[in-house]
Amino acid sequence: MIEPLIVLVTLLALIAIGAPIFLALGAAGMIGLYMARGSMALFFGPSSLFAQLNSFELLALPLFVLMGNFLSATPVGANLYRAAALWFNRLRGGLAIATVGASTVFGAVSGVSIAGVAAIGSIAVPEMLARGYSHRLAAGAVVSSGALAMLIPPSVPLIIYGAVSGVSVADLFIGGIVPGVILAMALAGYIWIRASLNPSEAPRETEATHWGARLRSLGGLWHAALLVLLVLGVIYSGVATPSEAGAFGALGALALAALVFRSLTWMRFWQIIASSARISGAILLIMGSARIFGDYLNLIRLPDTVSQALTQTQLPTFAILMVVMIALLFLGMLIDAVSLIVVTTPILLPLITALGYDPLWFGIILVMNLEMAVITPPVGLNLYTLKAVAPVLAIEDIIRSVLPFVILQFLVLAMFVLVPEMALWLPGLMP
């Protein structure tokens, strides 16, 4: 029993001193493998790393990151928010609801939550504050809706889960649509109710908006909307794999940025290439290192132990699932999303299948947990991204603003845990 304890202490110590997460996971895993297999660990470690990365599905990851970065270089985010603001301006809390709508659509463009927070938040927060919206409502709307990009396809976390679990990425993309839409509607509904009960947080707009202006606002969006629909359409129809669709999407986004919007300079082009390479490389390095740590956990049979321990408790299935969800929520506060997916999936998936649940459903539920993780401290990247693009907001206000939104997201999560068919319905309709 001393060996697993040493591995755990090593992992926590490295994280505590600020070591990169890939180094913490890789070093702890290698120490564990060395204690269990001696010098053979020098073979097992690199083999685990490359085995994790030797996946065709992972080709989609850097391509969709590149697609999102190219579209982020266009005025699509600004156009999305302005259009949504015109369409929702007569509703109580309309600008905050528009933020949710714009973030939902932008999530289908970028697949990365912090990109949505940066693109939408830099525009939405000043607009809402200028019109008298409370700091907390403005911040909460941006950070919570920005997390929708993790679930709305093309989702980077779903690609990672598919690579680790063996579940079809295309099926995961389809499965993420209904939960993403329902969660967006829940956020919008909460904002409307909150603004109606407390009008001081969201003063009603008095400026009339004509239908002509609303329709004209869509003119700057149809290019990007068509690109996203085509990319997702070829995946869902079976014409192309997610990796192939990602390549077409990246090329299409490049064409939009360079030829349609003419917002791409050579300097900006190379910055996007470098940024996409850094993001993709960091994710893949974490995935490979997490696989080393995960193989050690498999070697000591931790997944089987956890599965047997929880199934033998005689607790109702729903209670077991809620214990897992709460554990994932707390882990997400401390560990980044990529590491959490790669490490916990091999541990929890045997339990989930033993309980009779679909691995596809678990992937959706896992990512819904991670949506809450990115808006909760201390690792909540959306919080710090919003602070960077909207320095007028105090970090304390941003953190306090997310509490009701986290509670709402947990209630929606519980609904999908209680009724798994809601997540599996749409994938079940596909051929």
Q: How confident is the model at residue 216 (pLDDT cuts 50, 70, 90)?
A: confident
Asked whether residue 342 carries a pLDDT value surpassing 90, the answer given is no
Task: Provide the token pair at 295.
Answer: 């193989």
Three-state SS annotation for the chain: CHHHHHHHHHHHHHHHCCCCHHHHHHHHHHHHHHHHHHHHHHHHHHHHHHHHHCCHHHHHHHHHHHHHHHHHCCCHHHHHHHHHHHHHCCCCCHHHHHHHHHHHHHHHHHCCHHHHHHHHHHHHHHHHHHCCCCHHHHHHHHHHHHHHHHCCCCCHHHHHHHHHHCCCHHHHHHHHHHHHHHHHHHHHHHHHHHHHHCHHHCCCCCCCCCHHHHHHHHHHCHHHHHHHHHHHHHHHCCCCCHHHHHHHHHHHHHHHHHHHCCCCCHHHHHHHHHHHHHHHHHHHHHHHHHHHHHHHHHHCCHHHHHHHHHHCCCCCHHHHHHHHHHHHHHHHCCCCHHHHHHHHHHHHHHHHHHCCCCHHHHHHHHHHHHHHHCCCCCCCHHHHHHHHHCCCCCHHHHHHHCHHHHHHHHHHHHHHHHCCHHHHHHHHHCC
Average pLDDT value for the chain? 83
- Give the residue-averaged pLDDT of 247-269: 87
Asked whether residue 408 carries a pLDDT value surpassing 90, the answer given is yes
Digit-coded pLDDT (tens) for 45-74: 788 777 777 777 777 878 888 887 887 788
Digit-coded pLDDT (tens) for 277-289: 887 887 788 778 8
Q: Specify the pLDDT at position 190.
A: 95
Q: Specify the pLDDT at position 269.
A: 92
- Give the residue-averaged pLDDT of 295-318: 75
Taking alpha carbons only, the member of 265, 260, 282, 113 closest to residue 183 is: 113
Asked whether residue 193 carries a pLDDT value surpassing 90, the answer given is yes
Asked whether residue 261 carries a pLDDT value surpassing 80, the answer given is yes
Digit-coded pLDDT (tens) for 74-116: 887 777 777 877 787 778 888 889 889 888 887 777 666 777 7
Q: Specify the pLDDT at position 183.
A: 93
Asked whether residue 223 carries a pLDDT value surpassing 80, the answer given is no
Taking alpha carbons only, the member of 27, 25, 52, 67 closest to residue 284 is: 52
Digit-coded pLDDT (tens) for 6-18: 888 888 788 778 7
Asked whether residue 310 carries a pLDDT value surpassing 80, the answer given is no
Q: Specify the pLDDT at position 65.
A: 82
- Total residues belonging to the chain: 431
Contacts 24+ apart (CB under 8 A), 40-46: 44/295, 45/292
- Domain ranges for the chain, please list them: 1-54+281-299, 55-264+300-429
Q: What gap in Å lies between CA 363 and CA 423, rounded to an integer? A: 10
Q: Specify the pLDDT at position 105.
A: 81
Q: How confident is the model at residue 416 (pLDDT cuts 50, 70, 90)?
A: very high
Q: Specify the pLDDT at position 2.
A: 82
Taking alpha carbons only, the member of 77, 122, 132 closest to residue 101 is: 77
Q: Specify the pLDDT at position 232.
A: 78
- Give the residue-averaged pLDDT of 340-355: 85
Asked whether residue 208 carries a pLDDT value surpassing 80, the answer given is no
- Give the residue-averaged pLDDT of 161-172: 88
- Give the residue-averaged pLDDT of 175-190: 92
Residue 167 exposed, middle or buried by CB count within 10 Å (0-12, 13-18, 19+): buried
Mutual angle of helices 60-72 and 94-110, in 10-degree steps: 130
- Give the residue-averaged pLDDT of 165-179: 89
Asked whether residue 303 carries a pLDDT value surpassing 70, the answer given is no
Q: Specify the pLDDT at position 431.
A: 61
Q: Specify the pLDDT at position 110.
A: 67
